[in-house]
Amino acid sequence: MNERHQDERTRIRTAIDRLLAGRPTASDGSLTVVALAVEAGVHRMALLKRHADLKNEFYERVRNETKQMPEPERKLRETVTKLKNTITNQKAEIDELQQLVTRLTLASAVLTQRTDVPPEPTPCTGNVIPFPGR
């Protein structure tokens, strides 16, 4: 490891300690990777790419020391909950539509059967003979 890389790691670890202690100096103090990068004075992508182990360590410490859920995990859980609700609603709608299709099919069959029944011939009076088929 070169000296610059080691310096970044030291600054990140120090920033983790400050954020978890609730004493931020450069960031808003939120327990996110963005705040950690600002607090450490490193680019966020450097933290995500070169120091992914420190990012994971940060989130693990957030979970263990503060008993809080990291922000990205919380957002993902909210999204999963919303998607599960959407799936439940869509399943209910599909069931309702399938029942409607069944009812409409039955109604169509009843109406079709009624039109297939030939009408009763009208009684003839006198010498009038009706034409067949009507």
Q: By percentage, how much of the chain surpasses pLDDT 70?
A: 87
Looking at every residue in the chain, the average pLDDT score rounds to 86
pTM of the model: 0.56
Report the range of poorest mean pLDDT among 25-29, 35-39, 120-124: 120-124
The answer to whether residue 39 sits within a structural domain is: yes
- 37 and 85 part of one domain: no
CB 35 within 8 A of CB 19: yes
Picking from 17, 32, 11, the residue whose alpha carbon sits closest to that of residue 65 is 17
Domains: count for the chain: 2
| Alpha carbon separation from 116 to 106, 108, 112 (Å, rounded) | 15, 12, 6
Residue 103: which domain range? Answer: 71-111
- Higher pLDDT among residues 56 and 120, named by residue: 56
The answer to whether residue 124 sits within a structural domain is: no
- 63 and 27 part of one domain: yes
Residue 118 has a pLDDT of 61
- 59 and 75 part of one domain: no
Residue 99 has a pLDDT of 95
Interior CA angle at 126 toward 121 and 131, to 5°? Answer: 40
Residue 16 has a pLDDT of 92
| Alpha carbon separation from 58 to 33, 62, 71, 97 (Å, rounded) | 8, 6, 12, 49
Give the C-alpha separation, 60 to 126, whole Å. 102
CB 8 within 8 A of CB 33: no
Average pLDDT for residues 102-123, to the nearest whole number? 76
